[in-house]
């Protein structure tokens, strides 16, 4: 599956599952199509206030499996994984990029867009264009050119999230 097909599947899965995941009290942080020697993996990353544990992941797995079976948005066989965000929290939505301005990021770019990877601090998010500071140089990067993004937090930043919760984004309700 090439990156265009993968992105389309991920978007379709998000559209299909996000309403139910949200209604169950969770945030669908990311939808990733990946794979290993065992074959394709559909990975859902969930979160909620107070964090998630193994029982939350199992609950969401049981809830979404029938929807995936009926809609069949992923071609062929795959494994479903549901996980918590962890220290390398994936970032996909504009609101999440806005939420994490000021924090470290690692980006993997889509093939054919030039540079393959970036690692730096997100200094601005305007529309669908982010500004990443890498070694003192600002890079303007369209979201459409990003294949995968995740936070690159220090241990201190990650622990602070656990104590204080995630940074709010304008318009979030307390």
- Strand segments (E) across 110-156: 117-126, 129-134, 137-142, 146-151
Q: What percentage of the chain exceeds 70 in pLDDT?
A: 93
For residue 105, what are the β-bridge partners? 120, 151
Catalogue all structural domains in the chain, each as residue range(s) with its CATH number. 3-83 (3.30.300.70), 94-164 (2.30.30.100)
Q: Which of 54-63, 145-154, 155-164 comes out lowest in average pLDDT? A: 155-164
Helix (H, G, I), strand (E, B) or coil at 14: helix
Indicate if the pLDDT at residue 173 is higher than 50: no
**Which contacts qualify for 56-62: CB closer than 8 Å, 24 or more apart?**
56/26, 56/84, 57/82, 57/83, 57/84, 58/82, 59/24, 60/21, 60/24, 60/26
Q: Phi first, then psi: give them for residue 114, nearest 5 degrees.
A: 105, -120
How much is the pLDDT for 163?
A: 59
Whole-number mean pLDDT of the chain?
A: 90
Indicate if the pLDDT at residue 41 is higher than 60: yes
Between 128 and 172, residue with greater pLDDT: 128
pTM of the predicted structure, to 2 decimals: 0.86
Indicate if the pLDDT at residue 75 is higher than 90: no
How much is the pLDDT for 14?
A: 96
Question: pLDDT band for position 47 (50/70/90)?
Answer: very high
Contact residues for 110 (Cβ-Cβ < 8 A; gap 6+): 3, 144, 145, 146, 147
Q: State the DSSP code for 78.
A: -
How much is the pLDDT for 166?
A: 66
What is the mean pLDDT of the segment spanning 73-84? Answer: 93
Q: Are 108 and 91 in contact (CB under 8 A)?
A: no
Token pair listed for 47: 């979160």
How much is the pLDDT for 90?
A: 95
Token pair listed for 89: 């929290």
């Amino acid at each position: 599956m090439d990156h265009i097909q993968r992105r389309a599947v991920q978007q379709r899965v998000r559209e299909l599952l996000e309403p139910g995941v949200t209604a169950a009290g969770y945030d669908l942080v990311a939808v990733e199509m990946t794979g290993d020697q065992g074959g394709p993996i559909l990975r859902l990353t969930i979160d909620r206030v107070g964090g998630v544990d193994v029982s939350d992941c199992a609950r969401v797995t049981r809830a979404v499996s029938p929807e995936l079976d009926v809609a069949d948005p992923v071609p062929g066989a795959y494994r479903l994984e549901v996980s918590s965000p962890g220290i390398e929290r994936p970032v996909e939505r504009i609101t999440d990029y806005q939420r994490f301005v000021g924090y470290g990021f690692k980006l993997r770019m889509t093939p054919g867009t030039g540079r393959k990877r970036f690692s730096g601090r997100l200094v601005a998010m305007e529309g669908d264009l982010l500004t990443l500071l890498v070694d003192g140089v600002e890079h303007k990067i369209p979201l459409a050119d990003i294949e995968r993004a995740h936070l690159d937090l220090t241990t201190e930043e990650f622990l602070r999230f656990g104590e204080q919760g995630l940074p709010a984004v304008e318009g979030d309700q307390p």
